Structure 1
Amino acid sequence: MINFKAIFTAQLASVLNGQLSEEAITDLIETPKKPAHGDLAFPCFTLAKAFRKSPASIAEETACQIQGPYIEKAEAAGPYINIFYSKEAASAVIMEKILIEEKEYGQLNDGADKTAVLDFSSPNIAKPFSMGHLRSTVIGNALGNLAEKCGYKAVRINHLGDWGTQFGKLITAYKKWGSPDKVKENPIKELLSLYIRFHEEAEANPALEDEARSWFKELENGNKEAGILWNWFREESLKEFQRVYDMLGIHFDSYNGEAFYNDKMESVIEELIAKELLTESDGADVVQLPDEDLPPCLIKKSDGATLYATRDLAAAFYRKAAYQFDHSLYIVGQEQSIHFRQVKSVIKKMGYEWADNMTHVPFGLYLKDGKKMSTRKGRVILLEEVLDEAVLLAKNNIEAKSPGLENKNEVAEAVGIGAILFHDLKNDRMNNIEFSLEDMLTFEGETGPYLQYTNARAYSLLRKADDLPSAKNGLSDSYSWEITKLLYQYPEKIRQSYMQFSPSVLAKYLIDVAQAFNKYYGQVRILENDAGIKARLALVKAVTIILSDGMQTLGMKVPQKM
């Protein structure tokens, strides 16, 4: 692909006689917000001292010397040099590249022969898959897809919450109030009910907490009854989770959860002791982190129990050995930021520089009535119910507007679930999101259904056309040029999305493409049988390629008819 920015950079470097390096020039080049100000712009402020002239004078004298392939004109606008490319020549090159490569357009080699490990979703077993897990799940999946678009091998890990004192509470609750038949009939719903009841009863009867700790100790010590119950709870939970993952179109390469590391922590603790990093504090074993301005990292409690940090240390060493990762991403809520800084700092103190490749990717919360959702307090919204309701609403809309549509159920599922996914991913991941089904399922504006409908509209134009798309000739109108410039940016938007660990960069870009195309659709007779029809169809085809691939990268399905 021709690098239009590089052409402008080379021209400027030549004219400026080495006053600025090509790298410095490239860093200064801007994309004007208004099309009237050109396609690229260079501010001359940094040259004022060297030339002993005003930036405006430098721009005036320099602009007339800029010429090159694909550059239609260069003009001075105050202190800026604005470049206008030849729309017809440049658009032909861009569209031809996209039409030839199709899904390969936007595929990068940044991560060639490298591995990215992504730890995401990670629900607690024996609890329902709630809206609170949606963000980690869909952000992590999108980042996995983006990593693959950048050339990395992506390893997706579901670090299940399948160990801890909560299982002592659940075993206690089940033995006191549980019914085997009820659990078999509706495992997660019944287990959640028992879990909530335990906390309600424990407020009046604190002795239940002691009983729960005792049962967890039995589980840790290999008690047969406790182990059978734990395995049952885990298996039933995974069946439940898999149904939701199937709806979302998400897969994992590993379901190794907390319990997997039970026999892998001792070697880490021994190494900490050998390197004299473990100290005693109030009876507990900790690693002090004063140089990192962090609280001590708890490794073992006074009763000998290990903690999350111990398991995450063991997991990090295991994953490095198993996958030799170049990036290790933890897509976990922002409330765990200090924890992951501690884990990373401990590994660095142990002398392992690869800790620098471990990155916590935090995100905000889904809130209900301004409060964090809590399984313990019963303030939980089940994700599967939300997905089902979204699909039902989409189905009702299809029945009302397109009753003759083929594959209505498949389209309704793609649209309903796509609405939920996109509503999450278009938001900056650090923002909290107030749960509102109404907002998620709005089928107008900057939404998933809007993207899908725009794409289906473009496919419809291609089906109706008598001609085939051809990029042999470009287009010269301003509406098509605005779309073409956006399509040209797709590979860089993929790169930015992954490097910033922010799927919202891609999501917002796709909205820009869709809006530009709909503006074009409203202003230009695309199917008019004249000399430009093949080029217009090439542009429409290019739009379907970018929107389709972009939505699939975010995890959405792409119906061609709606």
Structure 2
Amino acid sequence: MMNVKNNFAKILWEQLKDDLDVQEIEGLIEKPKHTDFGDLAFPCFSLAAKRKMAPQKIAEQISKNINSSLFEKIEVVGPYVNVFLNKSQVFTTIISEILSKKESYGSNNIGKGEVVTIDMSSPNIAKPFSMGHLRSTVIGNAIALIHAKCGFKPIKINHLGDWGTQFGKLIAAYKHWGVEEKVKQKTIQELLALYVKFHEEAENNKQLEVEGREWFKQLEDGHEEATSLWSWFREESLKEFNRIYEMLNIQFDSTAGEAFYNDKMESVVELLENKELLTESDSAKVVLLEDEQLPPCLIKKSDGATLYATRDLAAALYRQQTYQFAKSLYVVGNEQTLHFKQLKAVLQKLEYDWASNLHHIGFGMMLKDGKKMSTRKGEVVFLEDVLRESISLAQDNIEKKNPTLENKSQVAHMVGVGAIVFHDLKNYRMNDIDFSLEDITRFEGETGPYVQYTNARACSILRKANRETIQTPTLFTLRHDSEWELVMLLLEFPTVIQHALQKYDPSLVAKFIVDLAQAFNKYYGEVKILSDDEQKEERIALVAATSTVLTEGLRLLGMKAPIQM
């Protein structure tokens, strides 16, 4: 890969090796705000104290000693050494690389084949797959794809919420008000209605909460009726979940949920006891974490029932034994930050070195009218309904703009689902998102459909040029500023991927492909790409390279790139 920033840093290092190493120099290199000031700039402020010279004098001294074909011009502007890249050389190298590597452009081997487990999605059974579950699902999937691009082996785990006191409450609600036929006809909707009714009734009848806890204890003890109802709820829920995952084109390597760890939790309790880490508090068993400035981690309640933390400890131990992971990621909302701090702290107290490789990848909430969606109050928006509406809107849009398009329903699915996925991933994951179907399904502006349409436009140009294979010119000659803008963005793609990996931030990829799409549309508007002249092959090669990167950028977000729209 032609990393011009790194090359510039190495050239500077020949003069600055007594003051800075290559990485420090590269970290200081900037991209000027205005192209008039060059393509890259090195500020000399940090050298002033060491060399006891004015930064401008240092800049002048450095510039005189740079001799490289990588630059066509070098200027000193105040304390900055500004360099203008050799456009033909960079253009030729980068386009040739993309056309030869195709979708592998930007790939690297940072991971060296190491395993990364990714705990993601993880909806609760017997509840609808709501918009609230979208974030963990699509963020986790994009992070997995980015890790694979960087040489890791991601293991996607759907840690289903199929255990806990809520199932005792649901069984109690079913025993009070459930009708078998109604549940069979509309399983999830009816179970949600029962769950909501339980909490409404429990506000005035505290005995219901007691019943819910008792039913869960019976479930833990293997009570036949409780187990039978729980199995039925789980089976019907998975049918609905799998339908939605198929719409999103997301697969998992494991669907071992919380219940999978029921027979593994007692050994966790014994392990903690043997290490003398368990303390009794109000008849419950806890691990004290005062030295970590954290509240105690509750392991067993006073009635002997295990907890979320107990199951997650068992899960962490099982995953390390099974996968020998280099990293274990938990793509779970910000509200669980304390839980994962406690989980990590307990494992470190157990003296597991690998505990330091557990990372909570938090994210903000999906809000409705500025408020958190609540299943127990019935304030949910079903993800499947939103996906279907978005697909329908895409279908309508295609019918208006391109009624003769082949595979209209397939393209509408790609675009409709892509709109939902992109709307989430273009936002920095730590920020809350206010749900608005109108905003999510917009097809203009900085949206997924806009990027998809731009790529389809590039594919249309290639079809008109009748180019199944693209010839790579031996030397490119730039004629337009918009060409150089495109090339500079294409050059950045591998770096964007690495930053997205390091920060666990798919929004960097989403924002990049929006910028690339905008730059391409500007180029398309200014230049007659298919004009028969001596630069035609160069322009076609640039279009092909742009389409390759747009397609791969969309793939890393879990989206498809239709070639016609």
- Distance between the aligned counterparts of 1:220 and 1:50, measured in 2? 68
1:275-424 to structure 2, matched below 5 A, reads 275-424=275-424
1:126, distance to aligned residue in structure 2 (A): 0.4
Correspondence 1:465 to 2:465: yes
1:138, distance to aligned residue in structure 2 (A): 0.5
- Distance between the aligned counterparts of 2:235 and 2:242, measured in 1? 11
- Distance between the aligned counterparts of 2:195 and 2:403, measured in 1? 45
1:488 corresponding residue in structure 2: 491
1:10, distance to aligned residue in structure 2 (A): 2.9
Letter in 1 for 2:481: S
SS of residue matched to 2:463: helix
1:253 corresponding residue in structure 2: 253
1:500 corresponding residue in structure 2: 503
- Distance between the aligned counterparts of 2:400 and 2:23, measured in 1? 56
> Higher mean Cα deviation, 390-399 or 193-202?
193-202
- When residues 204 and 21 of structure 1 are mapped into structure 2, their CA distance, relative to the original with a 3 A threshold, is closer
Correspondence 1:163 to 2:166: no
1:311, distance to aligned residue in structure 2 (A): 0.6
2:143 corresponding residue in structure 1: 143
Are 1:428 and 1:502, in contact at CA under 8 Å, matched by a contact in 2?
Answer: yes
- Distance between the aligned counterparts of 2:337 and 2:473, measured in 1? 49
- Distance between the aligned counterparts of 1:54 and 1:217, measured in 2? 74
2:547 corresponding residue in structure 1: 544
- Distance between the aligned counterparts of 1:115 and 1:509, measured in 2? 27
Are 1:469 and 1:536, in contact at CA under 8 Å, matched by a contact in 2?
Answer: no
- Distance between the aligned counterparts of 1:295 and 1:260, measured in 2? 27
- Distance between the aligned counterparts of 2:246 and 2:466, measured in 1? 39
CA-to-aligned-CA distance 1:169-217 (integer Å, 9 cap, x gap) = 2112222222222111111111111111112222232222222222222
SS of residue matched to 1:156: strand
2:438 corresponding residue in structure 1: 438
Letter in 1 for 2:208: L
Are 2:2 and 2:491, in contact at CA under 8 Å, matched by a contact in 1?
Answer: no
- Distance between the aligned counterparts of 1:505 and 1:397, measured in 2? 28
1:553 corresponding residue in structure 2: 556
- When residues 42 and 449 of structure 1 are mapped into structure 2, their CA distance, relative to the original with a 3 A threshold, is same
- Distance between the aligned counterparts of 1:15 and 1:255, measured in 2? 56
Are 1:67 and 1:73, in contact at CA under 8 Å, matched by a contact in 2?
Answer: no
SS of residue matched to 1:428: coil
The percentage of counterpart residues that share the same residue type is 57
- When residues 466 and 262 of structure 1 are mapped into structure 2, their CA distance, relative to the original with a 3 A threshold, is closer
1:6 corresponding residue in structure 2: 6
- Distance between the aligned counterparts of 1:286 and 1:64, measured in 2? 67
Are 1:40 and 1:83, in contact at CA under 8 Å, matched by a contact in 2?
Answer: yes
Letter in 2 for 1:502: D
1:522, distance to aligned residue in structure 2 (A): 1.1
2:36 corresponding residue in structure 1: 36
SS of residue matched to 1:299: strand
- When residues 46 and 216 of structure 1 are mapped into structure 2, their CA distance, relative to the original with a 3 A threshold, is closer
Letter in 1 for 2:457: R
SS of residue matched to 2:203: helix
Are 1:470 and 1:537, in contact at CA under 8 Å, matched by a contact in 2?
Answer: no
1:108, distance to aligned residue in structure 2 (A): 1.1
- Distance between the aligned counterparts of 1:273 and 1:478, measured in 2? 69
SS of residue matched to 1:262: helix
Correspondence 1:106 to 2:111: no
- Distance between the aligned counterparts of 2:213 and 2:21, measured in 1? 66
Are 1:469 and 1:541, in contact at CA under 8 Å, matched by a contact in 2?
Answer: no
- Distance between the aligned counterparts of 2:241 and 2:482, measured in 1? 46
Letter in 2 for 1:436: S
1:510 maps to which of 509, 513, 520: 513
Letter in 2 for 1:472: T
- TM-score normalized by structure 1? 0.98
1:469, distance to aligned residue in structure 2 (A): 4.1
- Distance between the aligned counterparts of 2:175 and 2:350, measured in 1? 44
Correspondence 1:173 to 2:173: yes
Are 1:497 and 1:506, in contact at CA under 8 Å, matched by a contact in 2?
Answer: yes
- When residues 542 and 427 of structure 1 are mapped into structure 2, their CA distance, relative to the original with a 3 A threshold, is same
1:157, distance to aligned residue in structure 2 (A): 0.4
1:16, distance to aligned residue in structure 2 (A): 4.3
- When residues 169 and 45 of structure 1 are mapped into structure 2, their CA distance, relative to the original with a 3 A threshold, is same
Are 1:95 and 1:471, in contact at CA under 8 Å, matched by a contact in 2?
Answer: no
> Higher mean Cα deviation, 53-62 or 523-532?
53-62
> Higher mean Cα deviation, 37-46 or 419-428?
37-46
SS of residue matched to 1:474: coil
2:526 corresponding residue in structure 1: 523
- Distance between the aligned counterparts of 1:50 and 1:274, measured in 2? 56
SS of residue matched to 2:299: strand
Consecutive unaligned residues of structure 1, counting only runs of 5 or more, are none
Are 2:217 and 2:305, in contact at CA under 8 Å, matched by a contact in 1?
Answer: no
1:75, distance to aligned residue in structure 2 (A): 0.8
1:472, distance to aligned residue in structure 2 (A): 2.2
Point out 4+ residue stretches in structure 1 off by more than 6 angstroms.
none
Are 1:164 and 1:216, in contact at CA under 8 Å, matched by a contact in 2?
Answer: yes
Aligned length: 562
2:224 corresponding residue in structure 1: 224
